[in-house]
Amino acid sequence: MKAEKKRFAEEKIKRKAEEKVAKEAEERRINEIVEKRLAEEEMKRKQVSKKKAEEEKKEEARLAELERQLQEDVLVNDCLKIIGVWRWNDLSRTTTRFYEDGKVVSRNLLKSEGTWECIEPKNRIFTSNTWGKKRQIKMSDDAKQLESTNAFTGLKLIGIKISDNPLEK
């Protein structure tokens, strides 16, 4: 009977050891599954973050391109603000008509035709070549005044915009 109890106790210990080993193996298996899932989730999160970063980068590039295009449009619009009729503060009350096609006509007692060009849109600086001379013209920030020099005397002149339409008489 003692031998039987001893064998029974040994079997119980063996069974408990096997159960413990099985339980530890199950816990390891569960931990491996959990770690694998966590790694997969982390990888997905990184992929999502990477995709988000790529999308944000694309969006930033798109916005930068739009900003650049807007700047170009603003510069072109600044160049077009010269189009119209301007009266200069010289003694002969010269008027100058700047046309969209680059033509310019200055008139006082005489008439002179030439061309104008926007050379620095950002700073609103133009050139005009009437009266046989090429001169720089600077537009004010509010686009209501031009500043240039008289072709003959070299004195500073101020032009005031009197019309946006160079074709009206």
CATH of domain 83-163: 2.40.128.490
Question: Following DSSP, what letter does each residue of 23-90 receive, concatenated?
Answer: HHHHHHHHHHHHHHHHHHHHHHHHHHHHHHHHHHHHHHHHHHHHHHHHHHHHHHHHHHTT-EEEEE-S
What's the whole-number average pLDDT of the chain?
A: 88
Per-residue pLDDT, 73:
63
The C-alpha atoms of residue 10 and residue 113 are separated, in whole angstroms, by 119
Whether the pLDDT of residue 72 is over 80: the answer is: no
Whether the pLDDT of residue 10 is over 90: the answer is: no
The C-alpha atoms of residue 158 and residue 162 are separated, in whole angstroms, by 13
Mean of the pLDDT values across residues 139-144?
A: 89
Mean of the pLDDT values across residues 7-21?
A: 87
Per-residue pLDDT, 74:
61
Per-residue pLDDT, 53:
84
